[in-house]
Structure 1
Amino acid sequence: MNLTRESILAMPDSPIIDVWRLGAGRNDVIGLWAGESDLPTPKAFSDAATHALANGHTFYSQNRGIPALREAIAGYYARLCGVHLDDDRIAATSAGMNAVMLVAQAIISPGDNVVCITPSWPNILRAITIAGGEVRETPLDHDGNGWRLDLQRLFDACDARTRAIYYASPGNPTGWMLEGEQQRELLAYARERNIAIIADEVYQRIVYDRPYAPSMLEIASPDDPVFVINSFSKSWAMTGWRMGWLVYPRGMTDTFEKLIQFNTSGGQAFLQAGGVAALNDGEPFVRSFVERCRGGQRIVLERLAELDGVAVVPNQASFYVMFSIDGVTDTLAFCKQAVHEARVGLAPGVAFGPSSAGQIRLCYARSDEQLIEAMDRLQAFIRRSR
């Protein structure tokens, strides 16, 4: 007897996982498929966590996180972009993905729909489905100058059952950013129709022409229907810590206290001490990491430009390059073949939605040495395949 819900059974595995399984555990494969760097967490952050662990911070924490972490999150926004947040609008979460699921549980009812800007990390769309919502995709347009949002197309996708609009800025896999007039227009539209905005800002610091990507918190009031999600994973090299945070509208503290209680009963206090150190003392690391990514981007773009029939969509932010190859329409098959023949792991664009099915994502948050070797292999493989 299979007791699994039909909606869960119907969910396919991510094509990224399909490719990863082929190369998992192989030391000869350079894995550029996942969204993480090859850098370990800075020692100062780890030391703060191990010190807390050694000093008995092993008991239940408050559901929304230890007070010191919530204070550090508020202080981070105040320093970074001049946004002042009340403590009762902040929750520490068990990773950014947990924050997404908490918001979905809080606001989505069966029959509701969520309009999502795509291409998008597939886990986000699955969270909406698990919560009983319908996903409506609004794809970005792209050309040789980058990615663009048709805001009217987004609005046209909304109807009376639209509960929320989701976007990631900077986007994964695109690096696209919502900014300026479009950001203001989206907020005005959501206010007028009481539609929630779920703003995924996990890649906020990985930007190459400014200190940070614009945050919806910079223009939203505390009472606006805006949920902002962030994570320690990317900018602070803490993917394995599974720590993030959520900023939610005023008046929803009890909602998230309950949901966190019923999901995880709070995070680990000693790990959260590491998060405090990252936010309070991690700015030099963040800046050096962004510069490292800039160098990785340069290596990859230069090497891809040497290949005939390869087109790159420029990215403003994040640590990914999206590219297509003339004649390659099945990117999943191509990426599987690349593992076997080039010993390079890539992510097929089909994983992020139909609008990127013909593209391939490469993560360049790696050392120069790894990227040079990976591009040597990839160039040779693409030339042999043509």
Structure 2
Amino acid sequence: MLTTMPPMTTPVHTRPAIRDLGGSLIREVANAGMGRADVLPFWFGESDQSTPQFIRDAAIQSIATGETFYSENLGRPWLRSAIAQYLSRLHGRDIGVQRIGAVASGDAGLMLANQLLLSPGDRVVAVTPLWPNLLEMPRILGAQVERVPLAVRQGRWALDLDRLLAALTPGTRMLIINSPNNPTGWTIDEEGLAAVLAHCRRHGIWILSDDVYERLVYDPGQASAPSFLRHYQPGDRLISVNSCSKAWLMTGWRVGWMVVPESLEADLGKLIEYNFSCIFEPVQRAAATALAQGEAHVARLRAGLVDSRRLLADALRAVPGVEVPEAGGAMYVFFRLAGERDSLQLAKRLVSEAGLGLAPGAAFGPEGEGWLRWCHAVADGARLLDGVQRLARFVGK
């Protein structure tokens, strides 16, 4: 006779590192306002424009011809070649295909980089405030993160380089740096980049560079932000992660790439197999087309971002009590209201009382508390001005 054991009454949990992860505060605010026609949404980091037609057409043609099968873990050879050629042109260096891995989004690439390098107990240093995913990924793997905050100097976001170098002690496993930075728009200069690279070489510290905004710089004389890839030498411990999401308006496509030392290529391929296996081939066609034919589009997008940031920043500065530091790139204005300390509650109040959807600064770490992030990648400047008017009425109350 079979006997049935009573169910266990002990609660079922995930492992502690997962339970300790913070939920997305941006999503928390957005969930309070999604679906409301009276809310202007500027909370997410994406443009309100659709992917250019020539990129969509490449995917449509690929589907029409039946390219719907598995592909290589690291991406189709023609996509890896397109990435290598694009980067070599952009940075004036020969970046070989053997260092390229195509990945299912920049987000996936960042997680793969963490998986390649980190073990429980490893020490990681990050320049903050920072997109929360970058700070939580090391924690998922049991690493410890030390934060080095940016500051506002002479009305502009700036890095205390001495403080960063002091934090990068021998035994530090990895530095995480995102430039141009989400949420502030801070962009490292060539002098600072050279100092960081030399220091990390000296102490054997890996650099994980999130380069997703590298094309979105406001200086028209720069093709891209200063890049560690331009200074790479064989033996450097450097991983660059990038994505088609921002500069080519492909957020929903989930496609990007990694540049790694040649010695990591085989292990990267293994990790891709065990994470997502490969990228849908029509998406790879779209990405290759974007990189090969998209320069005119990128130029138009950049010009639009310069105009929309200027429009938004000038309008915000006219609102009493608003502080708007200058920045070098990305697609955000990170600002604060005098006297406000709780950015999450402030963002929720702006949704409910003003119909204005912004991201709370606390989502990007304690350094962001009291600040708000406004994505200005908007085609219609009138929507930005409408949002500022709503903010001004809120402040006036």
CA distance in 2, matches of 1:373, 1:222: 51
Aligned to 2:223: 211
Equivalent of residue 363 in structure 1, options 362, 375, 378:
375
Counterpart residue type for residue 89 of structure 2: R
TM-aligned CA distance change 1:156 to 1:351, over 3 Å = same
Q: Determine which of 185, 200, 203 is the counterpart of 2:210.
A: 200
CA distance in 1, matches of 2:153, 2:321: 15
Identify the residue that residue 238 of structure 1 maps to in structure 2. Answer: 250
TM superposition outliers: structure 1 runs of 4+ over 6 Å: none
Read off the aligned partner of 2:256 and give its amino acid letter: G
Bigger shift: 142-151 or 246-255? Answer: 142-151
SS in 1 for 2:263: coil
Give the CA RMSD over aligned residues.
Answer: 1.2
Among candidates 309, 315, 318, match of residue 327 of structure 2: 315
Query: Percent identity of the aligned residues?
Result: 40
Which of 155, 159, 169 is the matching residue for 1:149?
A: 159
C-alpha displacement at 1:222, in angstroms?
Answer: 3.4
Question: Secondary structure of the residue that 1:323 maps to in structure 2?
Answer: strand
Q: Describe the SS at the equivalent of 2:279.
A: coil
Equivalent residue for 2:75, pick from 61, 65, 70: 65
Deviations 1:115-153 (A, max 9, x none): 000010001111111122111111112134312212221
User: Does the Cα contact within 8 Å between 1:223 and 1:250 map onto a contact in 2?
Assistant: no
Q: Deviations over 1:225-274 (max 9, x none)?
A: 01001110111000000111100112111110100011111111111100
- Tell me the number of residue pairs that the alignment of Structure 1 and Structure 2 aligns: 384
Query: Counterpart in 1 of 2:7?
Result: none
Task: Give the structure-2-normalised TM-score.
Answer: 0.94
Corresponding residue for residue 48 of structure 1: 58
Per the alignment, residue 180 of structure 2 pairs with 170
Q: 1:334 aligns with which of 343, 346, 349?
A: 346
Specify the SS of the correspondent of 2:138: helix
Q: 1:275 matched to which residue of 2?
A: 287
Q: CA shift at 1:87, angstroms?
A: 0.9
Match of 1:21 among 28, 31, 34: 31
Q: Which residue of 1 aligns with 2:118?
A: 108
1:7 matches 2:17: yes
* Residue 380 in structure 1 maps to residue 396 in structure 2: no
Looking at CA atoms only, which structure, 1 or 2, has the larger radius of gyration? Answer: 2
Q: How does 1:60-99 map to 2 (within 5 A)?
A: 60-99=70-109
CA contact (8 A) 1:111 1:161 kept: no
Q: Measure how far apart 1:25 and its partner are.
A: 1.7
Under a length normalisation based on structure 1, what TM-score does the superposition of the two structures give?
A: 0.97
Q: Which runs of 5+ in 2 are unaligned?
A: 1-10
In structure 1, how many angstroms separate the alpha carbons of the residues matched to 2:101 and 2:93?
16
What SS does the aligned partner of 1:236 have?
coil
The 3-state SS of whatever aligns with 2:302 is helix
Q: 1:189 aligns with which of 192, 199, 205?
A: 199
Cα distance between partner residues in 2 of 1:126 and 1:351:
12
Q: Structure 2 counterpart of 1:124, which letter?
A: L
Closer/same/farther in 2, CA of residues 24 and 222 from structure 1, 3 Å limit: farther
Cα 1:19–1:144 shift into 2, 3 Å:
farther
Shift of 1:160: 4.3
